């Protein structure tokens, strides 16, 4: 085992500052250092037993430098005891890499703005999730599991809760020094049933790994897993007996959980500036939005890109309470912010980090640069991007105001979109055909296709603030090598006209 000189947590800001100083002494033009310590707790109940109980922790330092117009990044793990010995060496390695790759740069990296913010941020928690007794967490899962069972059609039951606490110390060569404590809590439940040769799954409150918020254990209590388990179970059984959603062109009402993914894929990603500039073309892809579109949007031109109908407004907000990307500063050290992405249907802004904003010639970034941890260099990232609520009342108001034959669908099942974020296909977990202003026939595998701009332009109603909620995405993959990030998307149910459905069983 390795031994090392002792350091206290209060020293970590000094260690980060020391790494930056070393990089500058070694010839870096700019530098920043991030020390990140992350602890999680994951409890997973499957089919009546606690199938997985896991408590991962990591801590390490990442140093990023710019020298001769090129970036270098190095990172190493270490406990708070031995980071003091590691930091200078990591900084030296980062500077060497920048020097090695600089001859390949065609155009020097220009960083927009100044990362001189100093301050602290801490997620507000009503109930510290790490102080809730493990027995209470287990019992919550046991009760939920029991409620998910009791019917012979159920072939798999799953209930999971996860909590995370991430503490970050960052120093920049612009004089920035920040400290953040970010806490996230959440989970999900699932029932999988089998009947008539059909296997169907139903999830709550979200699929794709569950729903999460920044906050404490109060987030998990509010999800009320035991109170929703029987409904989830019964819907999974009913789906086994349901018809496949038929093909054709119909009106579509999307629920908030599905809208969150629709926003993520067709608004969040195409409005990341690094994608627009070609920096992601090697794996995830580019964007149908052009540099000209961005320039017009930033200038506030009234003729900027028509992204959606007049009912469509999107904001990017890394300050909203409960958001998974709600924090004080991004990983470039820039203060969190809130701004319009789409205003009354027109493109109004994009999400950027300092490097992409600099390439565009902008004065500053929009604080959207994040890394997957201490071991990864930051890249432009979707923040909490939300559809602003409209005036169409509740979900039931929206349904009652919609013609027979329309479809209400919710909860992501499968999704796919092209590399420029234009042509998409989504399958939801569940749908109902609307008859007489109410949900009528249950349908499975509802699958709709579309193209981003016509889709959002077809939106003619968005439900009101009373139906608006944040939904967490915890598995957003981007970068090469792939980095995972979390963010939230707020939405109230919305209605879209003339949407093409396909029958995936007869396609």
Partner 1 sequence: MALLEQDHAFEIADALIDASEADETEVTLECVEDRFIRFSADGPTQTADRESYELAVRVRFAATGGGFREARARCGGIDEETAFGALGRALTLARIATDLPDAVPLGGPTEVPETSPSRPTQDHSFREKAQWIRAAQERADADDLAPAGLARTTVASRSLANSAGRRVFGATSRAEFSLTCADRTRAAGRAQSSAARTSVHTYADEIDADLVAQDVAASAVRGREPSPIDAAPMDVVLAPPAVSALLTWLAAAGSGAQELAEGSSFMSGRLGEELLDRRLSVVDDPAHPRFAGWRFDGEGYPTLRTSLVASGQLVGPVTDARWAARLGLANTGHAMPQPSAAGPRSSALVLEPGETDEEQLVEAIEDGLYVRGLHYVNLVDPQDLVLTGLTRGGVFRIRGGEIAEPVENLRFTHSLVDAFRSVIGVGVKLERQPSLMGGEVVAPALALRDFRFTSAAPGASS
Interactions with partner 1, residue window 424-483 (CB under 8 A): 425, 427, 445, 447, 449, 451, 479-482
Taking the CB of residue 425, how many other CB atoms lie within 10 A of it? 16
Task: Identify which of residues 59 and 219 has a Cβ nearer to partner 1 in the complex.
Answer: 59
CB of 160 to partner 1, least distance (A): 8
Residue 249 interacting with partner 1 (CB under 8 A): no
| Buried-exposed string 299-323: b where 16+ CB fall within 10 A, e elsewhere | eeeeebbbbbbebbbbbbbbbbebb
Residue 416 interacting with partner 1 (CB under 8 A): yes
CB of 235 to partner 1, least distance (A): 17
H-state helical runs in 224-310 = 225-241, 256-263, 273-276, 291-299
Residues 51-110 contacting partner 1, CB under 8 A = 51-60, 62, 70-79, 81-82, 93-94, 96-98, 100-101, 103-107
Task: Identify which of residues 199 and 440 has a Cβ nearer to partner 1 in the complex.
Answer: 199
Task: Identify which of residues 121 and 130 has a Cβ nearer to partner 1 in the complex.
Answer: 130
| DSSP per-residue letters across 170-199 | EEETTS-EEEEEEEEEEEEEEEEEEETTEE
Token duo for residue 462: 């968005």
Please give the Cα distance from 44 to 24 (Å, whole number).
Answer: 46
Alpha-carbon distance values, 431 to 46, 407, 428 (Å): 26, 7, 7
Q: Which stretch binds partner 1 (CB under 8 A): 12-20, 39-47, 314-322, 341-349?
A: 39-47
Residue 286 interacting with partner 1 (CB under 8 A): yes
Task: Identify which of residues 181 and 247 has a Cβ nearer to partner 1 in the complex.
Answer: 247
Among 242, 245, 334, 379, the residue binding partner 1 under the rule CB under 8 A is 379
Beta strands in 307-366 (DSSP E): 314-317, 338-343, 346-347
Taking the CB of residue 152, how many other CB atoms lie within 10 A of it? 10
Token duo for residue 266: 């067709």
Q: Which stretch binds partner 1 (CB under 8 A): 133-141, 169-177, 326-334, 402-410?
A: 133-141
Residue whose pair of structure tokens reads 């067709």 in the numeric block: 266
Taking the CB of residue 120, how many other CB atoms lie within 10 A of it? 11
Three-state secondary-structure class, residue 35: strand
Q: Which stretch binds partner 1 (CB under 8 A): 132-140, 225-233, 305-313, 321-329?
A: 132-140
Residue 484 interacting with partner 1 (CB under 8 A): no
Task: Identify which of residues 107 and 299 has a Cβ nearer to partner 1 in the complex.
Answer: 107
Task: Identify which of residues 96 and 497 has a Cβ nearer to partner 1 in the complex.
Answer: 96
Residue 279 interacting with partner 1 (CB under 8 A): yes
Task: Identify which of residues 70 and 492 has a Cβ nearer to partner 1 in the complex.
Answer: 70
Q: Which stretch binds partner 1 (CB under 8 A): 7-15, 121-129, 288-296, 391-399?
A: 288-296
Among 28, 111, 132, 158, the residue binding partner 1 under the rule CB under 8 A is 158
Residue 299 interacting with partner 1 (CB under 8 A): no
Task: Identify which of residues 212 and 501 has a Cβ nearer to partner 1 in the complex.
Answer: 501
Q: Which stretch binds partner 1 (CB under 8 A): 163-171, 252-260, 417-425, 461-469?
A: 417-425
Residue whose pair of structure tokens reads 């939920």 in the numeric block: 144
Q: Is 2 buried (19+), middle (13-18) or exposed (0-12) by CB count in 10 A?
A: exposed
The answer to whether 266 and 424 have CB atoms below 8 angstroms apart is yes
Residue 420 interacting with partner 1 (CB under 8 A): yes
Please give the Cα distance from 327 to 213 (Å, whole number).
Answer: 12
Residue 207 interacting with partner 1 (CB under 8 A): no
Alpha-carbon distance values, 383 to 111, 204, 259, 400, 491 (Å): 20, 23, 16, 33, 14
Task: Identify which of residues 335 and 479 has a Cβ nearer to partner 1 in the complex.
Answer: 479
Residue 360 interacting with partner 1 (CB under 8 A): no
Three-state secondary-structure class, residue 404: coil
Q: Which residues contact 459 (CB under 8 A, 6 or more apart)?
A: 308, 309, 311, 312, 494, 495, 496
Among 22, 144, 185, 192, the residue binding partner 1 under the rule CB under 8 A is 192
Residues 382-411 contacting partner 1, CB under 8 A = none
CB of 76 to partner 1, least distance (A): 6
Residue 196 interacting with partner 1 (CB under 8 A): no
Task: Identify which of residues 238 and 449 has a Cβ nearer to partner 1 in the complex.
Answer: 449
Task: Identify which of residues 47 and 310 has a Cβ nearer to partner 1 in the complex.
Answer: 47
Residue 505 interacting with partner 1 (CB under 8 A): yes
Alpha-carbon distance values, 351 to 97, 316, 355, 381 (Å): 28, 8, 12, 7
Please give the Cα distance from 145 to 46 (Å, whole number).
Answer: 8
Q: What is the 3-state secondary structure (H, E, C) of 74-99?
A: EEEECCCCCHHHHHHHHHHHHHHHHH
Residue 4 interacting with partner 1 (CB under 8 A): yes
CB of 420 to partner 1, least distance (A): 5
Among 143, 306, 423, 497, the residue binding partner 1 under the rule CB under 8 A is 423
Task: Identify which of residues 52 and 400 has a Cβ nearer to partner 1 in the complex.
Answer: 52
């Amino acid at each position: 085992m390795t031994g090392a000189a002792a350091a206290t947590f209060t020293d970590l800001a000094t260690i980060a500052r020391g790494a930056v100083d070393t990089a500058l002494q070694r010839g870096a033009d700019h530098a920043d250092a991030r020390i990140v310590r992350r602890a999680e707790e994951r409890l997973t109940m499957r089919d009546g037993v606690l199938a997985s109980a896991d408590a991962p922790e990591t801590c390490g330092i990442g140093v990023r430098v710019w020298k001769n117009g090129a970036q270098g990044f190095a990172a190493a793990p270490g406990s708070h005891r031995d980071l003091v010995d590691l930091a200078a060496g990591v900084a030296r390695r980062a500077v060497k890499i920048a020097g090695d790759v600089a001859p390949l740069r065609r155009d020097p990296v220009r960083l927009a703005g100044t990362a001189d913010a100093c301050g602290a941020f801490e997620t507000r928690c009503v109930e510290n999730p790490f102080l809730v007794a493990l027995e209470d967490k287990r019992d919550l899962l046991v009760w939920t599991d029991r409620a998910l069972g009791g019917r012979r059609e159920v072939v798999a039951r799953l209930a999971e809760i996860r909590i995370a606490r991430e503490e970050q110390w960052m120093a920049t060569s612009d004089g920035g020094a920040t400290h953040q404590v970010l806490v996230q809590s959440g989970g999900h439940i699932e029932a999988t049933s089998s009947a008539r040769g059909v296997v169907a799954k139903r999830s709550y409150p979200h699929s794709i790994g569950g729903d999460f918020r920044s906050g404490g254990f109060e987030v998990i209590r509010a999800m009320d897993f035991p109170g929703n388990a029987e409904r989830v179970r019964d819907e999974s059984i009913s789906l086994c007996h349901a018809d496949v959603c038929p093909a054709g062109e119909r009106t579509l009402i999307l629920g908030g959980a599905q809208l969150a993914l629709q926003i993520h894929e067709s608004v969040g990603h195409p409005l990341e500036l690094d994608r627009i500039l070609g920096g992601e073309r090697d794996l995830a892809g580019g964007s149908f939005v052009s540099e000209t579109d961005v320039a017009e949007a930033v200038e506030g031109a009234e003729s900027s890109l028509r992204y959606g109908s007049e009912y469509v407004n999107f904001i990017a907000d890394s300050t909203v309470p409960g958001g998974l990307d709600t924090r004080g500063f991004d990983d470039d050290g820039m203060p969190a912010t809130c701004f319009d992405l789409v205003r009354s249907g027109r493109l109004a802004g994009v999400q950027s980090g300092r490097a992409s904003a600099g390439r565009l010639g902008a004065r500053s970034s929009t604080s959207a640069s994040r890394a997957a941890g201490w071991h990864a260099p930051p890249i432009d990232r979707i923040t909490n991007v939300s559809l602003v609520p409209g005036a169409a009342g509740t979900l039931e108001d929206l349904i009652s105001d919609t013609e027979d034959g329309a479809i209400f669908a919710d909860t992501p099942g499968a999704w796919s979109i092209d590399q420029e974020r234009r042509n998409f296909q989504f399958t939801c977990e569940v749908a109902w055909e609307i008859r007489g202003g109410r949900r009528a026939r249950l349908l499975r595998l509802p699958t709709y296709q579309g193209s981003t701009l016509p889709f959002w332009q077809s939106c003619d109603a968005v439900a009101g603030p009373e139906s608006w909620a944040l939904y967490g995405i915890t598995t957003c993959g981007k970068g090469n090598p792939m980095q995972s990030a979390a963010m939230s998307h707020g939405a109230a149910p919305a209605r879209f006209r003339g949407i093409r459905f396909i029958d995936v069983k007869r396609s």
